[in-house]
Amino acid sequence: MELAHPVFRLAAAGDAVALEQLFHDQPLLVNSPDYDGNMPVHLAALSGSVESVRVCLDALCRREDLDMQTELARKNHMNKDVITCAVTSGSMECLLLLIDHGAKTDYRYCSEVPPLVEALRGSDVEMTRFLLETLDVDFERSRMDHYWFAALQADLSITLAHYKLLKAYAVPYGIGEFEELCLTILEWDPGCKNLEDFLIYLCTDAVDRWFVEREEVIKGIRRISSFVLRKLVPINQSLCCIRRLQLHGLFQPPHSARAWLRVLTDWGLPPLQIPSQQLQDRLIHDLLSLFDKHRPGRSQRFIHDLGLAPLVLYFATLALKFPTPGWLDNWSRLCAEADFLECNLATLFDLHTVRHSRSASHFFWYEVFPFALARGIAYVDTGQLSMSVCHEQLMAFLDHILANCPSMRPQNLSITNDNLFLNLLSHFPASSKVPGHELFVRTVAHYILPWLLEAHWKSVSSGCLVTATVHALSHPPLLESILDFSPSLAQNLISNIKDWPHRVYRNMTPLFDCLLLAYMETQLVINTIPDNPMDLLSTDHSTIPLTSPVPTVMAEWFLKLKTHPCSLSHLSKQCIRVHLRRCQLARNSIGCPQPPLSQLVLQLPIPQGVQQWLISSKLR
């Protein structure tokens, strides 16, 4: 049968009159399938035309060689029978007519129930109710249809109505479905319609079906509580959704300062940013109202340990206010209102340390500092604040922390500063298109790089090393800052050839120039270079992939370096930098920050242009 035969076009269009005439002329057409396996009655049902369906049924009745039930049970190549097609069209009249004429309703021995699944994917809740009442289904046998997931759709109010019907008709729902639904729905857009109501239903239903102490239930409710805090609160710009969870006894607060920091990460960042200062203040004061020292029972429903309340409030202030000027004054006023003045930051961070194996300094530099810096970068990138303002506020933030928490200062850290710096590099993956990245370079140059003395590889994870190398080598200003303070660290990063980013392959000469300067300034030698270019590297060059183009290009660069006479400016630059590096090391004293080489260069009584030439790592 041809795909474009008039019988299929007429049935799909719902043209009952023309269809009736065609069946009288050619009665064999009534059960002829098209290339998709659709009989005319399938297409008529899909059209939603009751009259066309009636014409097809009458034509089937006139065929004495056909069994009506058998014909109506036939499926197309999409595994849809006629009543499934009627459900797809949303026509209850077509559905009733087909069932009255013997369409299949017995699915007790079937592993699939397409009509019900199709109804759950639609928006007609009454049709779903009718099918649940009419169809004979052994749900234990047909669980492979995943009814609960079929009902998920953009308007969660419809999903919620379907879920209540499925529960009322005892459709099986296990703890595994609950866990998977939690994971699935929390990946959705937080602006999805009726998401809050749906999440509350998921939690209350789980508690009703099982018991609240069950591990899987607790884990699911905790995930939902975290999602509500992280996503829905900034969207709603209020804590109403948290209060609704509390009223049902469902809210599971984060148990640590680290967990609180993570759930507050999205507050204040696009697209969940709250631009209005009044709304920011209202949200912070709503949060403050939940930390009631005189009503500990109420507070503990929101925070696991009241001792963490000041730190949580500090993180919320950072999330919503930083780096807008005045955020620190806002924090001070909140402390006075909440009577937190006796809780200094050092005490708060130490309280976190008591409850976790990692130190307070580790928590600050690897968690809180990236949290604040990410906000500064976002504000610069979106043009909300200038680079100078964000840098000023970031310095105020760090100065405030380091003044109140001496243990956070780089010179007092229990972790080595080269490890700290490499880990921070790995926290901020390189991107040449992010204007705010300059904030990172300025900040580490001011607070961390001066404390890198004899930097060398420690126990750094391979993943951290990869991202640190990519980050540093992708940004020439960052690599020059590293060389300015620590030639050995610059040499180590460049020597990690197996992790070089592909973007530097276009022009490797600047990296080789930087490597040569780093080698000489680490060894403190002038114009003395090894015979083998691979000896410039600080690491075992056997790890370089055989397919890497770096050794070949490096050999060509090295050959030119060895065969072409060095210019006087080239030799002078090497000589002056090595002598200044010796002065830098001689001036260094324990407990004091190391001045960068550029600072010594700027003190030389030479023209500014010559100073900039000396500071640059380029040799030509």
Residues 549-585 pLDDT 10s:
888 899 888 888 777 766 667 778 888 888 888 887 7
Q: Show the beta-strand stretches assigned E in 127-213.
A: 136-137
> Class of 1-104 per CATH?
mainly alpha
Query: What's the token pair of residue 29?
Result: 């057409």
Residues 7 and 40 sit within 8 Å (Cβ to Cβ): yes
The pLDDT-based confidence of 356 (bands split at 50, 70, 90) is low
Q: What is the pLDDT of residue 418?
A: 62
What residues contact residue 504 under an 8 Å CB cut-off, 6+ apart?
473, 474, 511
The whole-number pLDDT of residue 455 equals 46
CB 524 within 8 A of CB 487: no
Mean pLDDT across 483-502: 89
- Report which of residues 224 and 276 the model is more confident about: 224
- Residue 181's contacts (CB-CB under 8 Å, 6 or more residues apart) are 148, 149, 152, 202
Please report the pLDDT score of residue 529 as a whole number: 79
Beta-strand runs (E) in 65-111: 106-107
Lowest mean pLDDT among 26-30, 35-39, 139-143: 139-143
Coil vs helix vs strand at 344: coil
| Amino acid at site 495 | S
User: Tell me: the pLDDT tens digits for 58-88?
Assistant: 999 998 888 898 989 898 988 899 999 999 9
Instruction: Look up residue 48 and give its amino acid.
Output: G
Residue 157 has pLDDT above 90, yes or no: yes
Distance separating alpha carbons of residues 162 and 448, to the nearest angstrom: 57
Judged against a pLDDT cut of 80, whether residue 543 lies above it is answered with no
Cβ–Cβ under 8 Å, residues 220 and 179: yes
Going by pLDDT thresholds of 50, 70 and 90, the confidence category of residue 219 is: very high
Every domain of the chain and the residues it spans: 1-104, 409-615
Residue type for 23, please? F
Residue that has been written with the tokens 């006796």 in this structure: 342
**Residue 620, CA distances (Å) to 12, 555, 561, 574, 616 in order:** 76, 18, 11, 12, 10
44-64 pLDDT per residue, tens? 999 999 999 999 999 999 988
By percentage, how much of the chain surpasses pLDDT 70? 90
| Model confidence pLDDT, tens digit, residues 326-337 | 998 888 888 888
Within 13 Å and on the Cβ side, how many CA atoms surround 110? 15
pLDDT score of 357 = 59
Q: Which residue has the tokens 């009733």?
A: 96
Contact 129, 117 (CB under 8 A): no
Q: How far apart are CA 619 and CA 509, in angstroms?
A: 9
Q: How many Å is the maximal CA-CA distance in the chain?
A: 111
- Give helix then strand counts, H and E, for the chain: 35, 2
- Model confidence at 274: pLDDT above 90: no
